[in-house]
Chain A
């Protein structure tokens, strides 16, 4: 233990972050009068961390190819130790995240916490919400079973109804006319590379703003 402490202080002597983190993040006082509904954002972030941890490790076993994806997921789930648990945590965290992120938004709306000077929190929040939906949509295809295939078939087909550009957006989403290898590969790429990068970037902004302005107090 002493060794860790010494390493910690050695580093902190140079970066000088200990007091800042303690005062501004860990021990930052919150205003009076908050209730449990103010926890939804934090719960959402916790679920995001769970999704990140399980997602990282699931890439060890996944293969985004039409002939292999289903078998890879089956193998990971039923043959690898702890597979059901890891996938189960990812699945349920994703489902719960949809709920908590929505409740978080409702709470902010009801308390009027989006008003000046907190508009940027609302704006990044809406962008984050749409990314959560995109995560859900792309992740749903990856097991490549019947449900995944047809849900994505229907989901992408809806894009066609958008006036003028619908047809083109649909083709770009699928990587062509068919829902196939390219669709699976780009959904996977979006799900594990593009979306997480954008998400973390917006999240930093979201958190920075809340630290700057503090939690909006109820009337």
Chain B
């Protein structure tokens, strides 16, 4: 048992067992880790949704509350998403769509027609009619939904982009 070749064989077996176990454990960890991460980093796919605007004349400052309604799938659950958007006609074939989600903590801002500002009810964040921050805690301007007009019909994208980015793209 204790001769030199016996010790060698023992050491060889030990290293072999630890190596095989280590490789198996590492493989299992990699597979299970990938499985656990799953689709956490997959970006939501945006789509274009047609919305109805009232036939208000084109004039600066008149925002309309539009509820963007679309079906979305979270994992295996289908559900209806409803998002509030403030839409304003800039020209016959141009609209801007401002997301109502406050950039501070996501509360819903309201458009104040008299003062011409967006106000957040949670921490009194205020934005001007373009969505720029006037006062309060919001760290960034209100986001925009890419919008386009085709044959008089208005389409909004379900994704939001930071204000200042290109708002005409997004397909």
Contacts and interface: CB of A to CB of B under 8 A. Distances in A.
What size tier do the contact residues of chain B reach? 10 to 19
Interface string B25-48: 000100110111111000000000
Interface in A137-194: none
Contact of B38 (A53, A80, A85): A80
What size tier do the contact residues of chain A reach? 10 to 19
B34 A68 contact: no
Nearest to B30: A82
B34 A71 contact: no
A211 B34 CA distance: 37
B76 A72 contact: yes
A53 B27 CA distance: 12
A219 to B, nearest CB: 24
A177 B76 CA distance: 29
Interface string A60-94: 11000000100110110001111101100000000
Nearest to A58: B35
B36 A75 contact: no
A83 B32 contact: no
6 contacts: A60-B35, A61-B38, A68-B77, A75-B75, A79-B39, A81-B37
Interface of B: 28, 31-32, 34-39, 75-77
